[in-house]
Amino acid sequence: MVSSRAKPLIGRRLDEAMIAAGRYDRLFRHGWGDHHVIARFMVGETVAERSVSPLDIVWDEEQPVRLRTPTRTTPVMLRSDGRYHSPHAELPPEVAAGRIKRLRPAGRPIEGRVLALAGAREEGFGLREWIWGPLVEEGYELYFFELPYYGSRRRETQRSATVLTVSDHVLLNEAIILESRALLARLSGRTPLGLAGFSMGGFMSARVAAAVEQELAVVAIAAGLTPRPIFTESAYARAIDFAALTLAEGTPAEARARLGTLFDQGRVRKKPARPDAAILVCCRDDALVPPEQTEALHAFWSGSELRWLDGGHVASVLVHRAPLRQALRDAFAKLRRQG
């Protein structure tokens, strides 16, 4: 049996092992990228705040999904794939071609609609379906984007899920917010709406919730107030090629400081319309997102709820799926109860 004192160490070591596994495929190894994008973001100008129209999606025919049991004769859900063009005008054409998946309950009313955002390096939809999919049988309709620069939306020069330049990462974050806002605008007024995400998906769920006027149920897992310490101080910083970011007259330390200043522009700056319907989930032994960052977001979003999971960044989402789904149920209950 593993002692209670050893469990935090195991969780952190798993996080660190994940970072070590990618040491030959480091983030931003092609440098800063488009300096126009960097310059405008550095002064706080972001296209994510611009007006956006409801997302225009072309859906394929729905396919029924049945449980693999001899007693189940009717589908438990309907699955469909869709395509759209990103509202972010600065994306390369191959990145702007968006892909989305929808899972909805069959034969019962829809209790709520949820956009579940992916984490960093998460390609495809498998992990999110595994975490959130069981909620479809309870009446929740789920939406999953293929995020920009991942999977089918990689740049032509990408050979993995590693984002090659800092400016690509900036565009990625802006596009997530614009596309999420556009989808929420499309779904608005039909049923209660929610956002959920883990890690980068948690950060972006918080930023999207703060960027819209809609009342939303929000579950942000392993998220924080600012991404700055994640990219400059945590174990995740080891995944970054700071040598590639060092300018001719500078040092890696100066590159780290500049990156931190830039990414701090992406901090959560507003409260959501309904902070009381937001549940923030913190991993106690997280080596990638410092728990104090989640606590800082909770303090800023006065009225939100803070919940804790035992384990590190990686293990928590793999082991604690049931508490994550319960958090989403509870966030919707809060939204309905006080709405």
Paired sense of beta strands 193-198 and 216-221, if any:
parallel
Are 94 and 215 found together in one domain? Answer: yes
In terms of C-beta density within 10 A (0-12 exposed, 13-18 middle, 19 or more buried), how is residue 87 classed? buried
Are 167 and 251 found together in one domain? Answer: no
Q: What is the pLDDT of residue 6?
A: 43
The predicted model scores a pTM of: 0.91
Q: Which residues of the chain have pLDDT under 50?
A: 1-6
Q: Is residue 10 assigned to a domain? A: no
Are 178 and 199 found together in one domain? Answer: yes
Are 162 and 207 found together in one domain? Answer: yes
Task: Select from 240, 267, 294 the last residue of a domain.
Answer: 267
Q: Within 13 A of 225's CA, how many CA atoms are on the CB side? A: 14
Range of the domain at 125: 28-64+71-227+270-338
Task: Select from 267, 288, 321 the last residue of a domain.
Answer: 267
List the one residue out of 5, 152, 37, 131 whose CA is nearest residue 84. 152
Residue 39 CB coordination number (10 Å): 11
Domain CATH number, residue 60:
3.40.50.1820
Q: What is the pLDDT of residue 23?
A: 57
d(CA 241, CA 42) in angstroms, rounded, equals 20
Q: What is the pLDDT of residue 44?
A: 86
Are 170 and 235 found together in one domain? Answer: no
Q: Is residue 1 assigned to a domain? A: no
Q: Is 4 left (phi over 0), alpha (psi -120 to 50) or beta?
A: alpha
